Amino acid sequence: MTESAAQAPRRRFLRSATAGAMGAGALVAPMISVAQSPVVLKMQGSWGAKDIFNEMAEEYVKRVNEMAGGRLRIDYLVAGAVVKPFEVMDAVSKGVLDAGHTVPVYWYGKSKVASLFGSGPINGCDAPQTLAWIYRGGGLALYNELLQKLNLNVVGFFAMPMPTQPLGWFKKPIKDAKELQGLKYRTVGLAADLFQAMGAKVTQLPGGEIIPALEKGVIDAFEFNNPTSDMRFGAQDVIKNYMMGSYHQAMEFFEISFNKTKWAALPKDLQAILQYGVEAANSSNWWTAMDNYSRDLQDLMGKHKVNVIRTPKSVFIEQLKAWDVLTKKLSDEDPFFKRVVESQLAWAKRVAYYMFVNEADYALGYEHVHKVKLPTA
C-alpha cells in the first residue's frame, strides 16, 4: 500500500470529525446565546424620585445585579412609573410588576395585621430586634401565613431596621398630648389608628403628596420617616418645628417582594441571590442612613434654622395608653392579629431584657466625651 493510500482513511476521518465539530458548534451556539440572555425583573418602589429610599432600593438592585453575573437583572422604577405607591403590593401579586420595594403599612388596608410587620404596638424591642424576630423568632412564617390568608401571590423579605420615626413637623411645638386633638395630621398604617384614638384627624398619604397637602391646608402637621427624606421633601421651607422621638412607628423596615409565580420559575441559585441580597442591602441601607440622617439633621438646625425638639415624655406616655387600648381592641376582633402580637411580645420579653440589662449608657458617654447636653423629653 502506498503512503498516500494509507493516509486516505485518516484524511476522511479528520474531515468527518471537523464537520461533526462544526455541526455541534452550530447547535451549541444558540444554546449559549439563550443561556446568556438575562432574566429581567421589573421592580417598582413606593418612593418619589428624590427620596433617599430610592437610593436604598438601588443599593439592593446593584448588589443583586452584580452577584447574578449577567444571568439576572433587576430594572428599578420609581413610584408612579407603573402604579401608585400604595398599589405596589397588589401589582406584584397580580404580575403587573415582578417585584416591589415598599413597606407593609402601605397595604395594611387589606389587613391591619400587615402593619405588625412594619410598625406596630410598642413591646420593648427596637427595629433591629424586631427584624431579628422576623428572621429568628417566627415572624416570617406568620407573614407568609398572612399572605396566604389574603391570597397574595407574593414572596417577601425584609431589610433596613429604620431608626425611630420622629413625631413630625408642626406649626407650633406639641407640649401636651391634648394638643393633638383635632389636628389634621398625616401618618400611615396602625399609626393612623393610634393618632385617631388620640383625637387627631388623620389623612394617609404617600410621601410625594405630603407637602402639596400641607400647602393646601389638607393637613396641618405630618410625619414621614427621617431627616433626609423630610428635608428633600422641602418640609423645612414650610414648617420650622421638628419633633424627634415617638412610639407611633418605632420599628419599621422595608418589604422587598416578588411575584410568587415568577419567583418559582427561577433557578435556586438566583432565588438565593435575591434572598441574600436583601441581607447585604440591610447593612448597606443602615450605613447610608446613619451617614445621611445625621448630617441632614445638623443641616436642618444650622442651615435652615429648624427648631429641633425632643418629644415630651407626657406624649410618649399617652401614646402607650392609646396603644394598650388599640392593641386589645384589634386582638379581640382578630385572633390572627392577637397571635402575631403575642409572638412579638414573647420575643421582646427575652431579647429586649438582654439588651436593656447589657447595653452601655451611650448617652452618658456622649455627653462626657463631646461636652454636649442632649435634649430631654
Q: Is residue 316 part of a domain?
A: no
Q: What is the pLDDT of residue 56?
A: 98
Cell of 338: 392577637
Q: Is residue 188 part of a domain?
A: no
Task: Confirm if 253 and 159 have CB atoms less than 8 A apart.
Answer: yes
**What is the number of structural domains in the chain?**
1
The answer to whether the pTM exceeds 0.85 is yes
The whole-angstrom separation of Cα 275 and Cα 255 is 12
Q: Is residue 94 part of a domain?
A: yes
- For cell 428624590, what's the residue? 50
Residue ranges making up the domain that contains 107: 35-161+252-290
Task: Identify the bridge partners of residue 258 per DSSP, sorted by sequence position.
Answer: 99, 155
Cell of 3: 503512503
Q: Report how far apart, in Å, the C-alpha atoms of 226 and of each of 182, 215, 244 are.
A: 24, 20, 9
Q: What is the pLDDT of residue 309?
A: 95
Q: In sequence order, what DSSP letters do the residues of 253-300 get, joined into one string? A: -EEEEEEHHHHHTS-HHHHHHHHHHHHHHHHHHHHHHHHHHHHHHHHH
The whole-angstrom separation of Cα 227 and Cα 204 is 20
Give me the tens of pLDDT residue by residue for the chain, a chain 377 residues long.
444 444 544 445 445 444 444 444 444 444 444 456 899 999 999 999 999 999 999 999 999 999 999 999 999 999 999 999 999 999 999 999 999 999 999 999 999 999 999 889 999 999 999 999 999 999 999 999 999 999 999 999 999 999 999 999 999 999 999 999 999 999 999 999 999 999 999 999 888 899 899 989 999 999 999 999 999 989 999 999 999 999 999 999 999 999 999 999 999 999 999 999 999 999 999 999 999 999 999 999 999 999 999 999 999 999 999 999 999 999 999 999 999 999 999 999 999 999 999 999 999 999 999 999 998 87
- Based on the number of CB atoms within 10 Å of its own CB, is 285 exposed (0-12), middle (13-18) or buried (19 or more)? buried
Q: Is residue 210 part of a domain?
A: no
The whole-angstrom separation of Cα 332 and Cα 74 is 42
CB neighbours of 255 closer than 8 A, spacing ≥ 6?
89, 100, 101, 102, 103, 104, 117, 118, 156, 157, 158
Task: Confirm if 255 and 158 have CB atoms less than 8 A apart.
Answer: yes
Q: What is the pLDDT of residue 7?
A: 52
Task: Confirm if 261 and 41 have CB atoms less than 8 A apart.
Answer: no
Q: Is residue 308 part of a domain?
A: no
φ, ψ of residue 77 in degrees (nearest 5)? -125, 145
Q: What is the CATH number of the domain that holds 124?
A: 3.40.190.170
φ, ψ of residue 374 in degrees (nearest 5)? -75, 150
Q: Is residue 60 part of a domain?
A: yes
The whole-angstrom separation of Cα 367 and Cα 375 is 11
Q: What is the pLDDT of residue 206?
A: 86
Taking Cα atoms as reference points, which of 287, 263, 285, 289 lies closest to residue 275? 263
Q: Is residue 241 part of a domain?
A: no
Q: What is the pLDDT of residue 118?
A: 87
State the angle between helix axes of 313-333 and 335-358 in degrees (0 to 180), rounded to the nearest 10.
140
Task: Identify the bridge partners of residue 259 per DSSP, sorted by sequence position.
Answer: 154
φ, ψ of residue 279 in degrees (nearest 5)? -65, -40
Q: In sequence order, what DSSP letters do the residues of 150-212 get, joined into one string? A: TT--EEEEEE--PPPPP-EEESS---SGGGGTT-EEE--THHHHHHHHTT-EEE---GGGHHH
Q: Is residue 286 part of a domain?
A: yes
Q: What is the pLDDT of residue 6?
A: 47
